[in-house]
Amino acid sequence: MTPSPVSSTPILRRTLIWSAVAAAVLAVIAAVIGLATAGTNGLWSGLTGVLLAFLFLGITGGSILFANRWFGDPLYVQLFFAIVLGGWLLKIGVFVVLMIVLRGQPWIEPLVFFLSLVAGIAMSLIVDVIVLTRMRLPNVSDISLPTSNPEDDAEQSTGDAFGTPKQPG
84-137 confidence digits (pLDDT tens) = 999 999 999 999 999 999 988 999 999 999 999 999 999 988 988 888 788 776
Closest CA to 156 of 166, 169, 148: 166
Who has greater pLDDT, 169 or 65? Answer: 65
Who has greater pLDDT, 17 or 154? Answer: 17
- How many whole angstroms separate alpha carbon 53 and alpha carbon 102? 14
How would you label 28-41 residue by residue, b for 16+ Cβ within 10 Å and e otherwise?
Answer: eebbebbbeebeeb
37-85 confidence digits (pLDDT tens) = 999 999 999 999 999 999 988 898 899 899 988 888 899 999 999 999 9
Rounded-to-5 percentages of helix, strand, coil across the chain = 75, 0, 25
